[in-house]
Amino acid sequence: MAKIALGNGSEALQSDCIQALIVEFICTFLFVFTGVGAAMATDQLQGNALVGLFFVAMAHALVVGVMISAGLRISGAHLNPAVTLGLLMGGNITVIRSLLYLIDQLLASVAACALLTYLTGGLTTPAHTLASGVGYGQGVIMEIILTFSLLFTVYATIVDPKKGNLEGLGPLLTGLVVGANIMAGGSFSGASMNPARSFGPALVSGNWSDHWVYWVGPLIGGGLAGFIYDTFFIVRTHVPIATQEPF
């Protein structure tokens, strides 16, 4: 297990960190804009629920894959506090930069949702909530499992130096697992897997019902996946030091 690196406050003033934060904001903004926009479009069209779920899942799968590809070499394109925590647990990003990314991701999500509300003539941004009959414990466990699978995929296809034939396919595969997870859990917990993705719609709509579930579940799942994969599956010839590069 790589040691978690604290970092220092001067990171925020370094040019590569500033560039990373700008790109992380842009990629997270576009991800949330497309993902929430697709959910709003589905609500507006009021079509078949199964078709709507597939539509939203595919929109998320596509935009996640593209945005990770776009930002990977500059910010790592985490798009998600749970991803940032999972990478922190493996020593791939410092604590200081993780906090900066968290703030960046939340601001980007709020900006995207506020703009969507304006562009759609005041439509409500749909907040993640638990489905009828799904309790808090069930929702948290669902989010833990879904986020665990997301981070396990990120580590296996992007972070692990032994990814072999998967080289270059990480963003696409990560997008696909996000889409698959939405199909599996969207009707129950909402399949957020991402506190930032849930925070923006909740703040802009004012609907905080069950919101804590979308912090607790994803952060546990992401952190656990990062710890397990880095501890048991990554073999290093040299002990890494958490650098300015998230991935």
pLDDT per residue over 102-111, tens digit each? 999 999 999 9
User: What are the average pLDDT values for consecutive 10-residue runs of the chain, which has 247 residues?
Assistant: 76 91 98 98 90 97 98 97 96 95 98 98 97 97 98 96 88 98 97 98 97 98 96 74 48
Q: Is the pTM of this model over 0.75?
A: yes
214-225 b/e (C-beta count within 10 Å ≥ 16 → b): bbebbbbbbbbb
Predicted confidence at residue 120, as pLDDT, reads 96
Predicted confidence at residue 4, as pLDDT, reads 83
Domains within the chain, CATH numbers bracketed: 13-232 (1.20.1080.10)
Predicted confidence at residue 222, as pLDDT, reads 98
Predicted confidence at residue 237, as pLDDT, reads 64
**What is the Cα–Cα distance from 144 to 124, expressed in whole angstroms?**
27
CA distances to 64, 101, 154 from 217, in Å: 20, 19, 18
Predicted confidence at residue 153, as pLDDT, reads 97
Predicted confidence at residue 247, as pLDDT, reads 46
**What is the Cα–Cα distance from 121 to 50, expressed in whole angstroms?**
26
Strand, coil or helix: what is 33? helix
